[in-house]
Each structure stands twice: as C-alpha cells, then as structure tokens.
Amino acid sequence: METRNFLKHWRFPVTWKTKDPYIFTPDSFTHFHRIDDLPLSGYKKVVYVENSTFSKDISVIKNSFWIDQHTRFIVVDFSVLNLNSKIASSIHIRFDFHRSAPYWHTNSFHFVYALTGNNYYYIAIVFVSFAVLSTYNGVKQLLLAYKMGPLRYLRYPDSYVEVIKMLLSAINCYAFLKKEALKTELLQELKYSYLIRGSYEFVDFFGMALFDYWFFATGGILAFLCIFQMLYMLSKIRRLTIFMSLTIKTVKLFYMPLLVGVAFTFLSSILFGSTTGQFSSFGLSYLMVNQYYVKPINIYADLTANHPYTGPWFYFVMGMTISIFMFNMFIAFLNEAYSAIQNQ
C-alpha cells in the first residue's frame, strides 16, 4: 500500500459526450473513499480450486475496496498440486498499476513430487551409480595427493579439474538432499493444513527453486567436464584418431554439395511445409524479411499473431541472418563450381 496517487495511469469507464469509452478522470469522479478503513498490511485471501465457494472468493477479491487508485502493486501467489501428473507448481504474479497499460510479470517453479512406475528404480540406479563413482574418484585423488604431496600434486593441470569435479559433486549432492528435504516438509505441511485442520493455506514451493537451480547447474557443469575428459581420452586411441581424420576429410570434400542440399530442404520446408499458418520461428522470420517476395495479404499481422510475446524485431533479425547465410552460401557454391570448372 502506498500513499501516492496513480490515478493518471488508470482508465475509468465514461459513457458521456465522447467517442472513447475510456478516458483519464480526476479524483472527483472516483468513489474510493473507504481506503483508510482497511488495514495497511494488505488484503489476503487463500482459496482452493476444488472448493464450491471458489467463485465467491474471487468475487470478494475483485470487489474489494482495498484495490483503488492508490494501489501500486498487487501480488498473487498460489500453488497447484496436480494429482494425475504428480507435478506441483508455485506461481507468482505481480501486477503493476503504475504502467499506462496493463502489465504483469509471472514467475513459476514446477517439480515432480512423486515418481511412479519404473522411474523410481531408474532414478535410484542413476544416483547410486553417481554416488559410487564420485566416492571412488574422490578417494583415488586423495590417495594420489597423499603419495605425491600437495605441492607436487597441484603442479599438474588435471589435478585442478579433479578438485573442481569433487567440489561440484559435493555441491550437487548437498543441493539434491536439501531439495528433497524441503519437498517432503512442504508437502507434509500442505497435507496437514488440508486434511487435518481443514483449512486452505498457501504453501510456497519457491524455497526449493534455489536448490533446484544449484542441482541442475552444478550437474550440467560436471557433465560437461566428464564429457570433455572422455573425448580427451578417446583422442589418444590411434585407430579412432585415424577414423576421425578420414571422416573430417570426407566432410570437407562433400561440404558444399551437402550444404546446398540442406539449405534447399530447409528453404522448401519453410515456404511449403506448413499450410495452416502455424509457422515455426525460423519460418516466421524468413517470411517477414522476404515479405516483398512472398506476398500473402497482411502477412505481418497474420504471422505475428501466433507469437505476441517475442516481438517482431527478434524475428526480423533472425530472418536477416538466415537470408544473409543463404545468400553467402549460394555465392560460395557458385565460386566453388566456377573454380572447379576452371581447374578442369
């Protein structure tokens, strides 16, 4: 709740002597006079989607005199528990009435709160394998550092990679265990409030989001390091390196014909692959840039109607990039073909 007046950014319905049914009005036309009678802590109402009084609770919020021209923000937080898909979600919506047009920002966090079928055994095998391999690698590196000494051990670049892997593994395990503990606690709180006390209370799952992001971020970096080390180990196999060099030479030899075929297929799928108007982002961007060559009626409005949130500049820049790439590729292909003819 704020004391500033944001009335200039509200559009109040007016029906007399004007063609515009919505114009800005001064304070004298408003009827919000009960603002001082309401608590400054805000208006809070917890609803439940399966309750028969849901519509009534929503109407109470909509008709509340607490929301008036002095309201700066309205924050709506709610959690959804899907019993069929076993997915829980927390959604945060922030309405901003200081803007000249309706504006809101949404954050959400989703997670699977229960594993079903063989997924439970698959996840258990993956985590047991990860724990065994991480423990084995950590013990091996500690024994190696003990035999060689810390200073000598840190002289090798691979030692820093192994230390980083051990730290990431520890952070990954901590984030996973903390996330699971919070999930169990919050789900128990939700079940307790609904089944035992019979009341509907908001349970915020956003506290799990930080540990969830830690878990996936550290897991992604750890996977990248492991894959890089695997490729480095495979590069030491002589037969494999010979095979890769032959493959690279073959790709270089047939690079331009292969690229032309891919570009022709890509362009054909863009122009003729969709007959319903539901174009992909690449097709949308290409058609926007080349709208003077491909001329349906109102192509700009029709194509952007299905993608209102990305914005036209994104598709325009993407289409320019695709067009320049195709044009340069075509020029390069002609150059290669002309050079090949001249050499013969």
* Same domain for 98 and 35: yes
pTM above 0.85, yes or no: no
The yes-or-no verdict on residue 254 having pLDDT over 70 is no
* Same domain for 223 and 154: yes
* Same domain for 15 and 107: yes
**CA atoms of 108 and 76, how far apart (whole Å):** 12
Render the burial of 230-263: b for 16+ CB within 10 Å, e for the rest.
eeeeeeeeeeeeeeeeeeeeeeeeeebeeebeeb
Q: Choose one of 175, 207, 240: the last residue of a domain.
A: 240
Angle at CA of residue 149, ends 145 and 155, nearest 5°: 80
* Same domain for 167 and 125: yes
* Same domain for 172 and 65: no
Angle between helix 312-343 and 281-289 (nearest 10):
80
The closest alpha carbon to 314, from 281, 271, 274, 280, belongs to: 281
**CA atoms of 99 and 163, how far apart (whole Å):** 50
* Same domain for 100 and 13: yes
Per-residue confidence (pLDDT) for residue 304, from 0 to 100: 52
Point out the least confidently predicted range of 3-12, 244-253, 260-269.
3-12
Neighbour-count burial of 169, counting CB atoms closer than 10 A to its CB (0-12 exposed, 13-18 middle, 19+ buried): buried
Per-residue confidence (pLDDT) for residue 189, from 0 to 100: 80
* Same domain for 324 and 260: yes
**CA atoms of 297 and 295, how far apart (whole Å):** 6
CA–CA distance from 250 to each of 51, 70, 263, 334, 337 (Å)?
Answer: 66, 70, 19, 20, 18
What lies within 8 Å, CB to CB, of 81 at 6+ separation is 88, 113, 190
Q: Is residue 197 part of a domain?
A: yes
For residue 149, the SS3 value is coil
Q: Is residue 247 part of a domain?
A: no
The token pair at 56 is 């009534």
CB 212 within 8 A of CB 111: yes
Neighbour-count burial of 279, counting CB atoms closer than 10 A to its CB (0-12 exposed, 13-18 middle, 19+ buried): buried
Q: Is residue 249 part of a domain?
A: no
* Same domain for 235 and 129: yes
Q: How many structural domains is the chain composed of?
A: 3
* Same domain for 185 and 137: yes
Q: Where in the sequence is the domain holding 168, given as residue range(s)?
A: 119-240
At 164-195, the pLDDT tens digits run 888 888 888 898 889 888 888 888 887 776 66
Tell me the pLDDT band of 30, cut-offs 50, 70 and 90: very low
CA 296 to chain centre: 33
* Same domain for 169 and 138: yes
Per-residue confidence (pLDDT) for residue 24, from 0 to 100: 41
* Same domain for 334 and 283: yes
CB 104 within 8 A of CB 117: no
At 104-130, the pLDDT tens digits run 778 888 888 877 666 777 777 888 888
* Same domain for 289 and 274: yes
Q: Is residue 1 part of a domain?
A: no
Render the burial of 87-100: b for 16+ CB within 10 Å, e for the rest.
ebebbeeebebeee
The yes-or-no verdict on residue 262 having pLDDT over 70 is no
